[in-house]
Amino acid sequence: MLPKINPTNTQAWLLLKKHQSEEMRNVSMKRLFANDPDRFAKFSLRMNDILFDYSKNIMTPKTLQLLLQLAGDCEVKTAIQAMFNGDKINETENRSVLHTALRNFSGEPIYSDGNDVMPDVQRVQHPLIVLLLLTAGALWVPSEAALWLLAPYLLFRLVGKIAGAWVTARFLEVRTSDLAAFLMPPGVLAVAFALNFRQVLPPATGDILVSTVAMGTAAFELFALAVVPHWRRRRN
């Protein structure tokens, strides 16, 4: 469970109110930057390509210290750890809050009720392709032409995946077969292009294109789901 601490009842809250009324009421952003040329460096964080700049807030080192004290008084760190541990902090629904699992690409397990939830999450980690397939499926119009074009489309796509893997493997330390296996499922670009071209093509031609690509992409998704995991286990 989350700590139930009212921040307005903490010592840090009282100190923050006093700090605001006595020291910060008439402080301007312009004056803060004028008095400290290194303000940006002191009040910003960078992690690779992500920049978190909080220098353009009316605050001083003392303000930051008091805010951190408020977080400590409210046991924010304990609450964060409870979320990462899979504790049932969603009291309304009596379940874990598993936002961390959706963003976990480390390969490490995340537990809830003693069970690793990552296998279930990994099964639905293609939301964009699902959304596009649903859109394409709603626009699908059965036609003999689409069925005739399906086989050439599947062959063209298969050859393209293998050829792309072969060329790329020449520059990377990876086997062509392994790379091809990873490239088999994704079809998001094909569906997206088909939906876009449908807007400029004659209606009948656009329907045929979307139907062919949607069926082909779904076929490759099913192929990858059924065959690729088994193939990888055999390779390992």
Sequence-ordered list of residues with C-beta below 8 angstroms from that of 74, at least 6 positions apart, any chain: 3, 5, 7, 10
pLDDT of residue 195: 76
Write out the chain's pLDDT in tens, 236 residues. Answer: 678 899 999 999 999 999 999 999 999 999 999 999 999 999 999 988 889 999 999 999 999 999 999 999 999 999 888 888 888 888 888 888 887 887 777 778 888 888 888 887 776 665 555 666 666 666 667 778 878 888 888 788 777 777 776 776 666 666 666 655 556 555 666 777 777 777 788 888 888 887 888 778 777 777 766 665 555 555 55
Q: Are 53 and 44 in contact (CB under 8 A)?
A: yes
Are 62 and 133 within one domain? Answer: no
Instruction: Note whether residue 116 is domain-resident.
Output: no
Q: In the chain, which residue ranges form alpha helices assigned H by DSSP?
A: 11-19, 29-35, 39-42, 61-73, 76-84, 99-102, 118-123, 127-139, 144-169, 176-183, 188-198, 203-226, 228-235
pLDDT of residue 100: 80
Extract the tokens encoding 98.
Answer: 């598993």
Are 144 and 231 within one domain? Answer: yes
Are 45 and 135 within one domain? Answer: no
Note the Cα 152 to chain centre separation in Å. Answer: 34
Only one residue has tokens 């009842």, namely 9
Are 65 and 135 within one domain? Answer: no
Sequence-ordered list of residues with C-beta below 8 angstroms from that of 174, at least 6 positions apart, any chain: 168
Q: How many domains, in total, are found in the chain?
A: 2
Are 153 and 55 within one domain? Answer: no
pLDDT of residue 178: 60
pLDDT of residue 122: 72
Instruction: Note whether residue 95 is domain-resident.
Output: no
Instruction: Note whether residue 221 is domain-resident.
Output: yes
Are 58 and 141 within one domain? Answer: no
Buried b (16+ CB within 10 A) or exposed e, 106-135: eeeebebeeeebbeeeeeeebeebeebbee
Are 70 and 137 within one domain? Answer: no
pLDDT of residue 33: 94
Are 58 and 139 within one domain? Answer: no
Instruction: Note whether residue 89 is domain-resident.
Output: no
DSSP line for 54-112: -TTSS--HHHHHHHHHHHHHTTHHHHHHHHHTT---BTTTTB---HHHHT--SS---EE
Instruction: Note whether residue 109 is domain-resident.
Output: no
User: 145 is in which domain, residue-wise?
Assistant: 127-235
Instruction: Note whether residue 39 is domain-resident.
Output: yes
Instruction: Note whether residue 87 is domain-resident.
Output: no
Are 66 and 157 within one domain? Answer: no
